[in-house]
Amino acid sequence: MTVVFNSDTIAPHERADAVAAAVQEASVPSHVVLDGPDERVHATFDVWWFGEARIVRASTSGIQLIRTPKQVRTSPAPVLAVAVQQAGDGRYEQGDVRRVVRPGDLHVMDLNAPYDFSRRGDGASTCLHVPLDQLGLPADLIGQAAARVQDSPHYRLVANHIVQLTADADALSADPAAALSGCASIELIRALLLSACADDGSVVPSDILLSRIRAYIRRNLADPGLGAEQIAKAHNMSVRQLYKIYANTECSLEQGIISQRLERVHGDLTRPDQKHRTIAMIARRWGFRDPSHFARRFRAAYGLTPREWRSTALAPDEA
C-alpha cells in the first residue's frame, strides 16, 4: 500500500489547504469545500496500482466536490471513476442524476462532465480508476450508462469486486499478476456500462456492439487467425452484419486490427526486457505471419524500419 497523504502529519492550521490539494491530486481539479474548522479537517488517501488501473481509498471529514464545466474543458480526465461508498451517506449530482449514495452503493462518476458530490461528517469511499483509452467506450455511452448502472445485473458483482480488491489490495497489487487483475477490472467495468445501456436482451444498439467487438479484438490481437469470420462467429452475426457495423467508423475492420498490432509491436521494440527477442518473434507474437508484409506496414506507419526504430528507441541517452 502507498499512503499518499495523511493529514495527521500536517499542522492543524495548515490542514484545510493541504487536504484540498491532496483531494485534487488524487482525482481531478475541482472546487473543494471542507466542513468544519481547520483543526477538525482530516483525510487519508491510500493508492494501489494494478497495471494501468488503480484503487484509491479516501477517508475524510465532511466534504463537497464541485467540478465545473470550465474545469472539464481545461483539465480533461484520462480515467473513469467507479466508486463504492464505505462509510457515511453521500449526495451525488451529475446531469439529470441525483442520488443519495449510502454505504455499499456503487456509482459511476464521469470526470469529464460537471458534477457535485457532498458528504456531511466523517466518511470513506473506495474508487477504481480505469483508463478511458483501455475502456474503449464512447463518451455519450458512458454518460448514459452512468445514470443507469443500478439497473445492470452486473451492479452488485462490480461493487463486490471493488470492495474485495481493496480489502486484499496489499497482497494483490504486489503480486506479479497484478496487471491481470487490473485488466479483469477494466473488463468488468466495460460489462457494467454496456449492460446498463442495453434496454433489453433482444436488440443491442450498434454502438454497444461495436464496443464489444473492439474489446474482443483487443483481447485476441495475438491470434494470427483473427479476422472477420472469427469475429462475426464470436458475436453471433454474419460477416455482412459485421462490416455494416464498421461502415461508418473512421477505419475499416482490417485496418483497425493491423494498426493495433503495429502499436503493440512498436511498444515492445522499445522495451529493454524484450531485447532478447528478435523482431520477427515480436511480430509473430502480435499476429503478423508474413515478415515482409509486417516490415512494409511498419515503415508506412512510422517512417522507419522496425530495426531502425528499435535501435533509436533503445539507444543510451546522450549527456
Residue 53 belongs to what H/E stretch? strand 53-60
CA distances from 144 to 110, 192, 197, 203, 228 (A): 10, 12, 7, 17, 29
Instruction: Looking at the structure, tell me whether residues 153 and 269 fall in a common domain.
Output: no
Average pLDDT over residues 15-30: 90
Residue 143: give the domain boundaries. 2-197
Tell me what percent of the residues of the chain surpass a pLDDT of 90. 58
Could you tell me if 293 and 269 lie in one domain? yes
Task: Give the pLDDT score at 199.
Answer: 54
At residue 318, the pLDDT reads 46
Same domain, yes or no, for 68 and 176? yes
Give pLDDT, residue 202: 41
The reply to whether 232 and 274 lie within a common domain is: no
The number of domains in the chain is 3
Please indicate, yes or no, whether residues 260 and 160 belong to a single structural domain of this protein: no
> How sure is the predictor about 74, in pLDDT bands with cuts at 50, 70 and 90?
very high
> Is this model's pTM higher than 0.75 or not?
no
Residue that is last in its domain, among 179, 197, 215: 197
Query: Do 173 and 206 belong together in one domain?
Result: no
* Residue 300 grid cell: 508506412
Residues 6+ apart with CB under 8 A from 32: 19, 20, 23, 24, 63, 64, 65
Q: Let me know whether 125 and 137 are in one domain.
A: yes
CA–CA–CA angle 35, 18, 33 (5° rounding): 30
**Statement to judge: residues 102 and 214 lie in one domain:** no
CATH code assigned at 44:
2.60.120.10
Q: Is residue 264 exposed (0-12), middle (13-18) or buried (19+ Cβ within 10 Å)?
A: middle
Q: How far is CA 296 from CA 159, 281, 293, in A?
A: 47, 16, 5
Are 219 and 193 in contact by the 8 Å Cβ rule? The answer is no
Do residue 128 and residue 7 come from a single domain?
yes
Q: What is the pLDDT of residue 198?
A: 67
Residues 167 and 264 in one domain: no
Check whether residue 36 and residue 161 sit in a common domain: yes
Region at 145 (left for phi over 0; alpha for psi -120 to 50; beta for the rest) = alpha
Average pLDDT over residues 90-94: 93
- Specify whether 269 is located in the same domain as 304: yes
Q: Rounded distance, CA 59 to CA 50, Å?
A: 21
Residues of the chain above pLDDT 70, percent: 96
What is the average pLDDT value for the chain, to the nearest integer?
89
At 144 the pLDDT is 83
> Does the structure show a pLDDT above 70 at 201?
no
pLDDT of residue 97: 85
Where helices occur in 125-177 by DSSP H, the ranges are 132-135, 139-146, 155-167, 169-174
Q: Each residue of 93-149: pLDDT tens digit?
A: 998 888 999 999 999 999 999 999 999 999 999 999 999 988 877 788 888 888 889
Kindly report, residue by residue over 153-192, the tens digit of the pLDDT: 999 999 999 999 999 999 999 998 998 899 899 989 988 9
